Every structure is written in structure tokens, then in C-alpha cells.
Amino acid sequence: MRTFPQMRYLLLALVGVPLVSAYNYDETPAAAIKVPAGFTTTIIGTDLGATRHIAVNSKGGVYAKLSKLKDGKGLVYLYDSDGDGKIDAQKNLLDYKGTGIVIKGNTLYSSSNTGVYRYQLDANGEIANIDNPELIVTGLVAKGRDESKSITLDNNDNIYVTVGSYDEVCKEKGTNKGISPCALLDSVGGVWRFKTNKLSQSYAEGSRYSTGLKNIVGMDWNTKSNKLFVMMHGRGQFHESFPNLYTPEQSTKLPAETMYELHEGADAGWPYVYYDHFQKKKILCPEYGGDGKKTGGEKAINPAAAFPAHLGPNGLLFYTGTMFPAKYRNGAFIAFHGQSPELKKGYMVAFVPFKNGKPSGNWEIFADNFAGIDLAKPTGPVQHRPCGLAQGPDGSLYVSDDLGGTIYKISYQK
């Protein structure tokens, strides 16, 4: 069964046709991805590298950012070279790694771990000024931990950039005593806003739009409500640092992964409080005198939705297409990059229904089994971790995987 596909790719390579990496049959096949009735999953590229966030141009070409350089490049472009409607070619571009990528009109925005570049797309949806990018944001903090810079755009020529904290908590060195006010929040732990049409903006030229957010990777602008939504990774180190207050089991279940609707000046409470989805309230962190029960953060906003701990929400997308059934329109898809010890589930794409700009029901698993193993009784290593999400011009949903370097396309047909 493997001989024919391998021979096909070899013959095409010999005649000079540019190719997407051949599918490895030892990886999780598209047919193994569990999706609702009527949906189908196809693989459009594999072994691409650590693919993070993705964007699809008007021609259906897919740009995928890489968190690690592969063959000296940090961006993969998959496209249709012969106009038959199928992706069959690949280009490796740019010499810097990163996570964020957004396309609006004929402009592509791409982040490194310290800034954001702007590129123009030609009539074919390809980068026209590949050798002359415009640096619009520079000098953002990156110290090796939670350094990815996710980006999104509003409708008023603003770009929002996340800056995660390189420290899990904010405490005095050698102690478990929290620092207040936390100086980290001056340059990390929040979302900053800059202009899309201004070059070389630093922290001073931008503004801290929202704070109290330990690490944001999943972020999207909800065009229906005209609001910014983000997914925050929850903190850890409960039992390890405070064994008298938290059990090992509690450390596997706390705190919640949280979705926030942000406004200018919003404070989500980190590092002072966390959200407990069992008690359904903000709890004072132990570094600031909390005991797992004391509430805190009276001025901090409440999450719009909460999810089990350690799921690692890395992608957020509000679906605006018409291909999928009506229940999905204007709702939020979330790519979970980790797994919940509580649920023994993970590495999946979830869906949250929205109505009038707010979550309107329980979240549900939309696409599952990217891991390729039973997480309750694992028999081998995890094979794929969903990370980025993008919507194609036809309304299909694209999912990137930063472990196996695979990109999936999920479509619907009545």
C-alpha cells in the first residue's frame, strides 16, 4: 500500500514539480480525526516543522509560522501551483521564527518573538516584498519562556500583540512571597496595542491594552461584537510550592484555562488571583496570602468561559463562514495544545457557541484524536498537537500541529 504513493512523489519530484512533504503513513491519518457527521478531514501537508499559527489567503494558499527554524526558514507557504483547486506545492520563507500571522486584505502581518513585520501580497496571494519587510513593532520582551507573540487586528488600523510572562509567578527571589505591585506587568503579562500603519513602534509608541494575563497564545478579534477575545494559559506550581495548601491532585485540576473578553484597561488578575472553575470564582494566589478558598481580585474581570486545567489553549478563531451548519456561525473554535489529567482528554479542537457576542452554551469537543492514542491508557507517544486555526475563503477550517508538522483541512458537505 505504501509503494504507489512513494513512487508517485518520486516521479513528480524528478520532473520538477514542487511538492508538499509526502504523507507519512505511520502518523495519525486524516480519517482517524473524529469530527461530527457531515465533516471530513484532509491533510494538506506534513513534516513541515513546528507549525504554529496559520493564515489563508484569498486563493486558498496557507501560510504557517514556525516556532523553530527549519532549513533556516521560519514560514511555510502551501499553495496550488496548477490551478486545479488542490494544494500541491510548498515554499519555505523568512529567516526568523515566531508564532503570530494574520492576513487582512492584501497585507500579511507576521511576528517574530520580539516584534511584528508587515508584508504586501500580490494578485496571487504571495508575498511581494519578501526581501524588504516593514518592521512595525520592535523591542518586545523575549526571555526563552512563553515568548511567542500572537497577533490580531481590529477594524480601526490597530494591531494587538500578546507578551507572555517569562516567570510563572511574581515573587521575591528565594521565597514564596508575592511582589505587589508586580513589576513584570510593565512589559509582559498582557496585550499591547499598536498602529498597523506606523513603523518601528516600541513599548513607548504603543499602549498596554489589557494586563493581568500570564500567557496568551490564542487570540482573535470578534467581528460580530467588535471585541477582543483571548485564551489564557493558567499558572502552575501549587503543590510544588505550597504542599500544605494544595494536594498533588488539586495541582492537576487547578487553575482553569480561561477565555476573556478584553476592553481597554482590563485587568484579568494575574499574578494576584486565579480562576477556580469548581468554586466558580477568583481565588487569591498563595503567594499573596491565599489558601485555596479566599477570594480576591475585586477589580479583576471575570472570564467569559472556563475550561479544565492544563489543556493549553493555543488557537482561537471566531467562525464567520457559511460552509458549516448555522450552529457554528459566529461561535469560537479553540485549539487545545495540551491535555487535562482530570478529563484524560486533550490535543483537540473545541467549540463554544456564541449569541449576541457572548458564550451561549457549554463547550464541546469538535475535532478529536489528534494525539493518535488513548490518553486514558496511553500506549505510545502523542503524535500531533493542535496549535493554530484559520478559516479558508470557502469556509473550511484549517488546523496546524506543532509536533508532527501537519496541517489539516476540515470541510463540511450536506
User: Strands (DSSP E) along 47-206, which ranges?
Assistant: 51-56, 62-70, 73-79, 89-93, 101-104, 107-111, 116-120, 134-137, 151-153, 158-163, 190-195
What is the number of domains present in the chain? 1
Measured CA to CA, the distance from residue 44 to residue 385 in angstroms comes to 16
Q: Does the pLDDT value for residue 165 go beyond 90?
A: yes
Bridge partners of 159, per DSSP, are 153, 194
Q: Does the pLDDT value for residue 120 go beyond 60?
A: yes
Element at 248 (helix H, strand E): helix 248-253
CATH code for the domain in which residue 343 is found: 2.120.10.30
Torsion of CA 219, 221, 224, 229, to 10 degrees: 40
Q: Residue 370 sits in which domain range?
A: 3-412
Provide, rounded to the nearest whole percent, the portion of the chain with pLDDT above 90: 90
Provide, rounded to the nearest whole percent, the portion of the chain with pLDDT above 70: 93
14, three cell numbers:
524528478
**pLDDT for position 237:** 87
Looking at residue 388, its amino acid is G
Q: Does the pLDDT value for residue 313 go beyond 70?
A: yes
pLDDT mean over 218-229: 97
Please report which confidence band the pLDDT of residue 28 belongs to, taking 50, 70 and 90 as the band edges: low
Contact in structure between 18 and 90 (CB atoms under 8 Å)? yes
Please report which confidence band the pLDDT of residue 29 belongs to, taking 50, 70 and 90 as the band edges: confident
Report the side by side order of strands in the sheet with 62-70: 51-56, 62-70, 73-79, 89-93
Please report which confidence band the pLDDT of residue 12 belongs to, taking 50, 70 and 90 as the band edges: very low
Measured CA to CA, the distance from residue 9 to residue 14 in angstroms comes to 9
Measured CA to CA, the distance from residue 329 to residue 71 in angstroms comes to 39
pLDDT in tens, 372-393: 999 999 989 999 999 999 999 9
Measured CA to CA, the distance from residue 208 to residue 1 in angstroms comes to 56
pLDDT mean over 340-366: 96
pLDDT in tens, 234-266: 999 899 999 999 999 999 999 999 999 999 999
Q: Does the pLDDT value for residue 3 go beyond 50?
A: no
CA angle, residues 65, 225, 261, in degrees to nearest 5: 65
Residue reference for cell 478558598: 293
Q: Does the pLDDT value for residue 362 go beyond 60?
A: yes
**pLDDT for position 15:** 30
**pLDDT for position 414:** 76
What does the mean pLDDT of the chain come to? 92
Q: Which residues contact 366 (CB under 8 A, 6 or more apart)?
A: 35, 36, 333, 348, 349, 350, 351
pLDDT mean over 300-324: 98
Q: Which residues contact 13 (CB under 8 A, 6 or more apart)?
A: 19
**pLDDT for position 31:** 80
DSSP 45-61: E-S--SEEEEEE-TTS-
